[in-house]
A and B are shown apart, each in its own frame.
Chain A
Amino acid sequence: MSGWDKFVETFFNAKVMWKYLPDILSGMVVTIELALLIVVTGLGAGLALALLRSLAIRPLNWLIIFVVDLFRSLPPLVIIVLMYFGLPYAGPAPSGFVSTWLSLAFVLMAFSEEIFWAGITSIPKGQWEASRSTGLSFGQTLFNVVLPQAFRLTIPPLTNRTISITKGTALGTVVAVTEILGQASSAMSNSYNPSPLMMGAAAYVVLFLPVVVAARWIESKFAWKR
């Protein structure tokens, strides 16, 4: 067998790939579920915190800032490991899926709160005052004047963060989540062949590359013209 054939036989073994294709596909489903959950809950919680912060209640804001700083400075893997291996000692024992979901959602919450907040504060104070003096309520000012402008400003940093945190779903493999990397690794050790790992890698590219390309497009579309 020539070197090339041997390489293909090892890394792109058709028989092994066919056998483990269903595993990788089910891994993709888990990754997608996890990613969607993280994005929806993380961004939702982040926006909620930013809105709470705009009420300017001092002690509450200190708490928000502390929580945000905490989840920005801890590595996501440390949070996942702490939740999965640590929490059971105190009672609740979240599954690997729940640990990964909650940990990454907290991280996305922290980063997106910062970004939403920066967006809100970037709207000049005069706009608030003008809106309020025309008779709009606090809520109306926030939702009809401030947020639409703030969103536009926050989109490029937000898409970047969301992608890089959602990619972290692969960390779930450390706590036995059966997402793509988990499925690929166990298939690799069962078949003693790296082909499933190559499939897993391809699955990530298939899932995330379109998102990255879309993000690039959105970024250029929403960019403020200088």
Chain B
Amino acid sequence: MIEAFFNIDIMKAAWPIVLTGLWNTILLSLIVVPLGLLGGLILALLASIKHPLVRWPLMAWVDFFRAFPPLVLLVLLFAGLPFAGLELGGFACVAIAFFLNTGSYYGEIFRAGIDSVPAGQVEAARSTGLTRMQATRYVVLPQAVRNVMPDLLSNTLEVVKLTSLGSVVAVPELLYEARQAQSITYNPTPIVMAAVIYFLLLWPLVRLLSRLENRALAGRR
């Protein structure tokens, strides 16, 4: 058992490979999380235009990406687009897929946050002479973000976990590198290492979230 899953020699040999993967996962997260946040913010700001011509397509867009598995989106971009003469490479595909998928989730969260700020605040801000933009930027958004902080963090946790999908399109992130190391060494220890790293990396966030969520749900009544 220990020989198979916690083999010290294999750990030593696989460590540099797994470490490269870890750095790439961190780097990838640092790119796709802001991308998703940006996409979400754009969607939420568009959603604050209450015109039906904007609202309905937007809702369809968000529901579509909530229904569509991110891996299918990724494979579609990676394996489907080349048939149209567009070869993007694994990394670009991950970036686009995440922008679309996680952007929709972030968008729903931001929208809920913006809705949670009472309309009177915007009216008050406008009547003191702030423009619409200024009112959104200085009055609505700061409160909106604070109100939905637990959801934003929770979605960010999901996004970081989702970067493991990159392994399917040969992006050399943590899971990909661990599987490479596994196939070289014929031993599952590198995958166990990757799992332990993910756990150590994300556990603090999970703990924090579990506290915030309990409080939020209990306070809603």
| Interface set of A (CB-CB < 8 Å, partner B) | 7, 10-11, 68-70, 72-79, 81-82, 85-86, 89-90, 114-115, 117-119, 121-122, 153-154, 157, 163-164, 167-171, 173-174, 180-181, 185, 188, 193-194, 197-198, 200-201, 204-205, 208-209, 211-213, 216, 224
Contact = CB atoms under 8 A, between A and B. Distances in A.
Contacts of A201: 68, 72, 76
A80 to B, nearest CB: 10
15 contacts: A7-B84, A69-B210, A73-B198, A74-B161, A74-B195, A75-B164, A77-B175, A82-B188, A82-B192, A86-B191, A121-B218, A153-B217, A163-B66, A181-B75, A197-B79
B167 A77 contact: yes
B71 interface: yes
A220 to B, nearest CB: 12
B43 to A, nearest CB: 15
Nearest to B200: A73
Contact of B80 (A121, A194, A216): A194
Contact of B221 (A153, A164, A174): A153
Given A11-B84, A122-B218, A163-B66, 13 more contacts: A73-B161, A73-B203, A73-B206, A74-B161, A74-B202, A75-B162, A86-B191, A89-B188, A117-B214, A167-B67, A197-B80, A208-B67, A212-B63
A109 to B, nearest CB: 15
Contacts of A167: 67-70
Contacts of B194: 78
Contacts of B80: 11, 194, 197-198
Best-surrounded residue of A73, A121, A181, A212 (most CB of chain B within 10 A): A73
A188 B75 CA distance: 11
A133 to B, nearest CB: 22
Contacts of A118: 213-214, 217-218
Contacts of A115: 217
A79 B191 CA distance: 9
A85 B194 CA distance: 13
Contact of A209 (B4, B64, B76): B64
Contacts of A171: 71, 165
B179 interface: yes
A72 B199 CA distance: 9
A77 B182 CA distance: 16
B207 A86 contact: no
B84 A72 contact: no
A78 B188 contact: no
Best-surrounded residue of B83, B194, B201 (most CB of chain A within 10 A): B83
Contacts of A208: 67-69
A78 B164 contact: yes
B84 A188 contact: no
